[in-house]
A and B are shown apart, each in its own frame.
Chain A
Amino acid sequence: MARNPLGIDDVRARTFPFPARHFTSAADLDRDALAALLDLADGFVALNRQKAKKLDLLKGRTLMNLFFENSTRTQSSFELAGKRLGADVVNMSPRASSMSKGETLIDTAVTLNAMRPDLLVVRHSASGAASLLAQKVGCSVINAGDGQHEHPTQALLDALSMRRAFGQVEGLVVAICGDVLHSRVARSNVLMLQTLGARVRLVGPATLMPVGAERWGVDVFHDLRRGVADVDVVMMLRLQLERMTGALVPSTREYFRFYGLDREKLAHAKPGVRVMHPGPMNRGVEIDSDVADDLGISLIQDQVEMGVAVRMAVLASLAARLDND
């Protein structure tokens, strides 16, 4: 959707203090705060498309990326977001395997806290790690993925991609498909999409569906064709290949046959359906390249672009709160 290019002053005017000191869950934001944050992110999208991208909203602030799990795209997205806002960015990737994991997290938290960062972006393999860290440090903590729990900035960038593609998120029917059980992306998206007034479906084999998911206020499907019938958005989840060896699903080819998204299955969705994927994709496992690369359908590249913008919005907003404290 075309929007007028925004100036730096417009973005500055849209910046508001984040409602909480930390951003660890998609549930931290109510509908109004989400709308304001998405408006702000929209501004950053426009700005990022200009030649002069750099701002000084975070000048003097230190952003630390603390990634216990490997991540190329989320980490570089936060790094870029921080740098474009003028923050000093430090990347740390402690190797969880070389030490006792628990000691690493808590010891690192204490050490990092002593270096007085302002914003700490953390990814860790344990659910609840970000919220634990938030209790131990004096700075703002942003959850960039904690175990199987949440990945709220992913949900935010997904919401922005949808809002830009459809004009609004309210009233959309969104099918989240694949390995819901292990997916933090799914959990954050369910919370945020529901806050924004979308209807959410979860689609996947019964072994990859969390117990009690039908009580999350969603509709659960085990048949992809029925699950995507008449939906506006199909959000595919990444299937960890190590989970494909017969324990939870019998084989890659069986998975693709029933749950891989191709044009034939997608034809059951609403005309104008858009396809999303948090990346990185397993082509030919959960999604057919033919679908993934069709720019008339796929929002996957937009998602990456929106990622930088929403992270800028989150950082700017959290920093505005720090300024007020």
Chain B
Amino acid sequence: MAEARPIAFVGARLVDPASGYDGPGAVITAGGAIAEVVQRPALEGLSPDIELVDCGGAMLAPGLVDIRVKTGEPGAETKETLKSAARAAVAGGVTSIVVQPDTEPVVDEPSVVDFILRRARDLGLSKVYPAGAATKGLAGAEMAEIGLMREAGCLYVTDVDRPIVNSQVMRRAMTYARGFGVPFAHRPADPSLAGRSNANESEFAGRLGLVAGPAIAERIMLERDLALAELTRAKLIVDQLSTADALESLKRAKAKGLDVHATVSINHLSFNELDIGDYRTFYKLVPPLRGEDDRQALIEALASGLIDVVVSAHAPAPAEDKRLPFDEAAPGAVGLETLLPALLSLHHERRAPLVDLIAAVTLKPAQLLGLDAGALKIGAPADLVLCDIGAPVRIDADKLISKSKNSPFDGRSLQGKVMMTLVDGRVVFDART
């Protein structure tokens, strides 16, 4: 790939979670890295061969790091390929994605990790990192080759949407992962309670006659996971918390000083169960959308820092898997292209400071997984997003870049237009032209 030309971004609103700075500034990129960061709008004495970008007050921030992205590659390329996901990512200002191991074949041994890394390397779009399975075939019985996958380049292990029921398997896998310094992500849901539920157990689901599971299934499993984190001293990433109840458990564990971190999906910050309305399957998610009280509690937990990271939970599902009766439809929503504007809603609604919201999709996930990303500092890779955070955007699912169009934001008006995305100093997305 060609060496990136130096670019000077002037007149920006710099948002840098690493320093906590949110104010006027300018950035120069050179040689794929950040060469200069100043906290004033203009730069003097620029060399004429530097391309000048006048940001006009738009936000310049580190590119987003989305640690929970599903594609269909390998195995279900009609849903999404690594390439289409990476294109969608950069269109949404996301410069690093961590792809989930529930592919066909499952990413449970190093050759599949290697396959994904090789496929992604040549794309020249967002950076792509694999997560590995915690257990072979995601079956929850035997440990996957965690050490070898780590060596091949996987960032963390997870069984994705399948909770590991057997506590002994869970304990050993967590212990083993800790020995290799591999973070362990787990979505807490007691399957015997959650069953094959598709919806949150509530008055609403009862009226619709949907197969529903109680919110408490999340807390019950989370309590076990937190106890095992205490026992094993593993680094636990609690995947996609969705209930207010579970936040209490998380708070206690963090107060104890456990190495525990939590994510929330942008969908659970944006919607509640009532959005399902007349069986709209684009709102069928795992975990299911909960009540408004839960959504409000999640927003507060994000604002307070109890929840560390926001993920898109990008899960492409083609129309034929969604245009079914609710109980039979595939769960999940695409989200790479809407993550940033949807998150900015919380800024516009004054629910949290902008720099904190940006930290939850940049610095914090990068730190969690040990990536050199998420900070506007000299020498760091020039992974950047330029976003006009006030600009109105109307989400039209048909115009999404993702191969699957299952966006719950379809038809919604948001604010925040991604103008440019840079990866290692190269312009990989440019909406200005």
Contacts and interface: CB of A to CB of B under 8 A. Distances in A.
Contact of A132 (B208, B214, B324): B324
Interface residues of B, number: 24
B210 interface: yes
Interface string A147-161: 111100000000000
A210 interface: yes
A215 B206 CA distance: 11
B206 A127 contact: no
A184 interface: yes
Contacts of B211: 148
Nearest to A132: B325
B206 A102 contact: no
A83 B209 CA distance: 32
A131 B278 contact: yes
Given A184-B209, A216-B207, A127 B325 contact: yes
Given A149-B209, A187-B209, A126 B203 contact: no
Interface in B312-327: 320-321, 323-327
Contact of B202 (A147, A150, A212): A212
A148 B278 contact: no
B329 interface: yes
A102 B324 contact: yes
Nearest to A210: B206
A131 B323 CA distance: 12
A20 interface: no
Contact of B210 (A127, A184, A216): A127
A105 B203 contact: no
A129 B206 contact: no
Contacts of B328: 101-102, 126
Contacts of B279: 127-128, 131-132
Contacts of A148: 209-211
A211 B203 contact: yes
A128 B323 contact: no
Nearest to B210: A127
B203 A216 contact: yes
Interface string B168-197: 000000000000000000000000000000
Interface in A174-224: 184, 187, 210-213, 215-216
A132 B328 CA distance: 12
Nearest to A150: B209
B201 interface: yes
Nearest to B276: A128
Bin the interface of chain A by size: 20 to 34
B128 interface: no
Contacts of A149: 208-209
Interface string A87-117: 0000000000000011101100000000000
A124 interface: yes
Contacts of B205: 211
Most-contacted residue by chain A among B210, B212, B325, B328 (CB, 10 A): B325
B324 A105 contact: yes
Contacts of A147: 209, 325, 327
Kindly name the residue among A128, A129, A146 whose own CB sees the greatest number of chain B CB atoms within 10 A: A128
A215 B208 contact: no
Interface in B251-284: 278-279
Nearest to A106: B323
Nearest to B319: A106
Given A132-B325, A147-B327, A127 B208 contact: yes
Contacts of A126: 324-328
B368 to A, nearest CB: 36
Contacts of A146: 209, 325
Contacts of B208: 127-128, 149
Interface in A124-151: 124, 126-129, 131-132, 146-150
B154 to A, nearest CB: 33
A86 to B, nearest CB: 33
A127 B327 contact: yes
A105 B279 CA distance: 15
A129 B325 contact: yes
A106 B281 CA distance: 14
A294 B324 CA distance: 44
Contact of B326 (A127, A150, A184): A127
A106 B203 contact: no
A213 B279 CA distance: 19
Contacts of A131: 278-279
Contact of B324 (A106, A213, A215, A216): A106
Interface centre among B203, B209, B279 (most CB of A within 10 A): B209
Nearest to A209: B206
Nearest to A191: B207
Contacts of A213: 203, 206
Contacts of A129: 325
Contacts of A128: 208-210, 278-279, 325-327
A317 B321 CA distance: 35
Nearest to A147: B209
Nearest to B200: A211
A148 B329 CA distance: 16
A146 B278 CA distance: 13
8 contacts: A102-B325, A127-B208, A129-B325, A149-B209, A211-B205, A212-B206, A215-B203, A216-B203
Given A106-B324, A149-B208, A210-B206, 6 more contacts: A127-B210, A127-B279, A131-B278, A132-B324, A187-B209, A216-B207
Interface of A: 101-103, 105-106, 124, 126-129, 131-132, 146-150, 184, 187, 210-213, 215-216
- Those 3 A-B pairs whose CB atoms lie nearest each other, nearest first: A212-B203, A126-B325, A128-B279
